A and B are shown apart, each in its own frame.
Chain A
Amino acid sequence: MTMVKHELRQNRISLSVWTLAIGFLISVCIFLYPEMKGEMESMSDVFASMGSFTEAFGMDKVSFGTLLGYYSIECGNVLGLGGAFFAALCGVSALAKEEKEHTAEFLLTHPVSRTRIITDKLIAVILQILILNVVVYALVAGSMAIIEENVPWKEVTLLHLAYLFLQIELAGICFGFSAFLRRGSLGIGLGVAIMMYFINLIANITESAEFLKYITPFGYADGAEIVSEVALDEKLIVLGMLYCVIGIIIAYWKYSKKDIA
């Protein structure tokens, strides 16, 4: 518990900045919707006929003219990418930062087992992701309730749930990397998140690259798809959680026998 509290304290500024930045951006976008609504209806046709660009962002499946359509695309970019970056950074720095900042020697010479430290750090990472998502969801729900009477709660909730899974998966994978790293961890975290994002874009554009959906968590966090199906792709999510667990297992395996520099 000491360790979890310590981790949360250490990261409280970074967590607040990311949460507020994502929450603010996404709320602003929602408040812009009533004004853009009229224009959006005419724009919808344009967006729907931009070929592979349309497909890449799933704009062929939903209409920009509805709050839900608008939100699923916009939310996908703000929370999807922002949340992915935060989760990846959080996961990848969790273990690596102790050696990077030379605090490992202090921490690991206290009578706390490495397993305990890994577990507590993992709990702290997941807690931070949960806090970010709950706050962002509350801000989104509040903003939507203000501008629209009939908020499509189910779809919005499913969307946010999908992003939560996406973030946890990325954090888990990056946590695995974290056990190996000493320096340059942030770059690798960002790299993983961006790579996954682009893999999904490619999978969306090219038929023959559809299998890539099984690799990237953005595959199941596709706003347009979730909104049009009103369901999550459980198969992909289970697969994603499997990648996450593998990352975590690797972290335990590597970090409990690592030579600390």
Chain B
Amino acid sequence: MNAIQTTNLTKYYGKSRGIEELNLTVKKGQFFGFIGPNGAGKSTTIRTLLGLIKSSGGSGTVLGFDIAKEKEGILKRVGYLPSEAMFYSGMRVRDVLKFSADLRKANCKEEAEILCQRLQLDTSKKVEELSFGNKKKVSIVCALQHKPELLILDEPTSGLDPLMQREFFEILKERNAEGTTIFLSSHVLSEIQRNCTHAAIIREGRLIACDSVEKLSQTNAKRIQIQGNVDIASLENIRDMKQTEHGISFLYGGDVNVLLRVLAKQSVQDLSISEPDLEEIFMHYYLDGGEE
């Protein structure tokens, strides 16, 4: 069964676009990254899946439950981490955690304690006195303490220091190994490349790529770095051209033989051909509008 499945899911805010005909499939047990720049529709997708907003078209299921009709079934089994955590002022961290557990009619005391300890969260502090990063930790504990089947995390690492980020992903990996499906949105690509097994890229409300991280990283394009004074004006399929100190660097998507023939006629001091990282692929999808 799929953890998340949407069919032509569309959301318009009045006339402005949220998402358009989104077809997203996340299988159970995947560690799934959802990549896109600000305003691409990541949060809109997540908020529609959770029933905070109503879709304008299409349909979707989360863990087999319909997003329009069976919200409670979904919410019972999902842990959600909002990108901007806000809590009721005047409450202490432990009250917030207790309130969240009570709303779920669950006793999560033990798990909450373990998580707070691992994330070094002081539960006696008042929530409005917490820094952004510490508020995020409260959200993390709220999302994880009831051991949900599916974790939906909206930009989970913003505000966390690198050590905390590592601990956080450590926890997520443990949960994933126990069978929890993880769906996280981010615009930090290295984070997704390092941790996720699968990823989807969203651009201007549309899904433009969805595959395993491994396959997404394998495109025909290569990163070419040349030292020396060369003229490559005759080459096609060149992207992301940059002037470096002693030469140029670009993404090349054409025939390698053609490239070599052009370069052979010129004076090249040094040449390197490498696989582009996810960041570069991301740029490729974004700057050129992907495969459309």
Contacts and interface: CB of A to CB of B under 8 A. Distances in A.
A103 B88 contact: yes
A200 B11 CA distance: 46
A110 B89 contact: no
B61 to A, nearest CB: 16
Contacts of B100: 106, 110
Nearest to B83: A105
Contacts of B75: 109-112
Chain A interface, >50% SS class: loop
Contacts of A107: 103
B71 interface: yes
Contacts of B88: 6, 10, 101, 103
Which of A101, A102, A111 gathers most chain B CB within 10 Å? A111
A112 B86 contact: no
Contacts of A10: 88, 90
Nearest to B139: A106
Interface in A230-261: 257, 259-260
B104 A103 contact: no
A111 B104 contact: yes
A260 B86 contact: no
B235 interface: no
Interface residues of B, number: 28
Interface residues of A, number: 20
Nearest to B96: A106
B99 A2 contact: yes
Contact of B52 (A111, A112, A260): A260
A101 B47 CA distance: 18
Contacts of B85: 106
A105 B52 contact: yes
A257 B69 CA distance: 12
A108 interface: yes
Contacts, number: 59
A107 B80 CA distance: 11
Interface string B65-103: 000000111011010101011111110000000011011
A113 interface: yes
Contacts of A104: 52
Contacts of A2: 99, 102-103
A109 B80 contact: yes
A86 to B, nearest CB: 19
A106 B50 CA distance: 11
Interface string B42-53: 000001001111
B239 interface: no
Contact of B103 (A103, A105, A110, A260): A110
A41 to B, nearest CB: 50
Contacts of A259: 13, 52-54
B144 interface: no
A256 to B, nearest CB: 10
B142 interface: yes
B87 A103 contact: yes
Nearest to A13: B90
A110 B87 CA distance: 14
B53 A110 contact: no
Given A103-B86, A110-B75, A111-B104, 17 more contacts: A2-B99, A2-B102, A2-B103, A3-B103, A6-B88, A6-B99, A101-B89, A102-B84, A103-B87, A103-B88, A106-B82, A106-B85, A106-B87, A109-B80, A111-B76, A112-B75, A259-B54
